[in-house]
Structure 1
Amino acid sequence: MKEILSTKNTTIKEFKKLHKKKYREENQQYMIEGFHLIEEAAKAGAKIEWILFNQRGKTEWSDWLETQPENLFIYVSEEVLESLSELPTPQGMIAIVKMPDDKKKIDLSGGWLLLDNVQDPGNVGTMIRTADAAGLSGVILGEGSSDIYSTKVLRAMQGSNYHLPVIRKPLAEVIDRFKEAKVPVYGTELNPEAVAYQQITKSEQYALIMGNEGQGVAAKFLEKTDKNIYIPIKGAAESLNVAIAAGILMYHLQNND
């Protein structure tokens, strides 16, 4: 088992770079923190390349560590773990994980959530987690949407990225594929042509587009949809948070009966 006790260690410096998207993409690696997320990654068969833990991690999760290959282990000091952590209180364990292949063919069956330029990490992570809970087939992130391998998105997803495909692709290309396959595509917009979501009949297959927090779904995508839908506001609030709205629509559209 390796041991690193200094924050000036070259390996630790390289791991720390993974907090930036540029280096994550260059190295095709990302960092997850905390036992729950690491356990979810391991259960899903994600390629864990290193498991770093301090004394707390070794003590609290010794039973689980005994089930993992020892050649992945790096025992680190509390100071080293704190230098890598982005949490107020480090949880004693960090893993370095290989990014999955993002070029797999999309199976159009079931329900799909499409995100257009959704920039808030908490919103992106929450929507992916809700898509998982509602039983959707997958999530597609279009241009401008937050990187799912950032710490905030990973925390918000709570491991749901290991339960369903989360793919980054140009939405124009994806929408055209759904249209060619006769899969209904719904945009979200409040305008005279839009209909209340309750008027939409559930179907086995569909695609739902959610847009930017301030600007909504881009007009070029709304022009391609089969129908644009909205959620009626009963109270005085001007609008709903995009993640809350997505949850309402996904649970309505998903045919789980």
Structure 2
Amino acid sequence: MSLEIKNLTGGYAHVAVLKDVSFVAKDGEITGLIGLNGAGKSTTIKHVIGLLLPHKGEILVNGLTLNKNKDDYHKQIAYVPETPVLYPELTLKEHIELTILAYDLDKEKTMTKATELLKKFRLDNKLDWFPSNFSKGMKQKVMIVCAFMTDAKLFIIDEPFTGLDPLAIHDLLDIVEEKKTQGAAILMSTHILATAQQYADQFVLLNSGQVKAAGTLEELKETFGMADANLDDIYLQMSKEAVDDHA
């Protein structure tokens, strides 16, 4: 399995946002990371990609850890952040070339793959553009192209639909499904629960930095005692319990 998080406690400096978090994101599956604002979703992702270091616990990607196999660990992961991060002095083509260098990819083969993605997102005639020329949605598409042109085993997408038009959302979900079919693991954080329910194979529900529940929709229904519920109903019930716990 691509991602294993074991008893992770972590956060910022001496503040533990996450408390004993454990879950797996399996190869060939989409895992939906669900929770209220401040539940710990982004903090979890920052730990997985190495922006934050655990206070306690362990994170493995394809059996590798960040502290023992830094370069190989990072090459296993492709990440699409909620807010696009691009280099203002690099063109779109140069962002693609930089990604090829960072992941040590075959240039010719990867450029072919990148060109297909660029055409899908209607960016193939904008290779010489700089980020200042792009709208937010176009910047997000650049991040998606640079992530999915790689051979990563774990794709992490954090609120990926922000700023995307409906056609781009459809195209992204097609690409995610294709990577899943090829055996990659996908960890997707999103507030669009209908889409999460339609596409994700399993869910991890975070509340106040802890895993409230994890499993398939059927398993979540059983956990919450809500036989006829959808993901939205379960999310609202978890939210209500979170508010009641703090009352």
The normalised TM-score by structure 1 is 0.28
Higher relative contact order (CA 8 A, sep 6+): 2
Where is the strand percentage greater, Structure 1 or Structure 2? Answer: 2
Decide which structure has the larger Cα Rg and report it: 1
Output the TM-score relative to the length of structure 2: 0.29
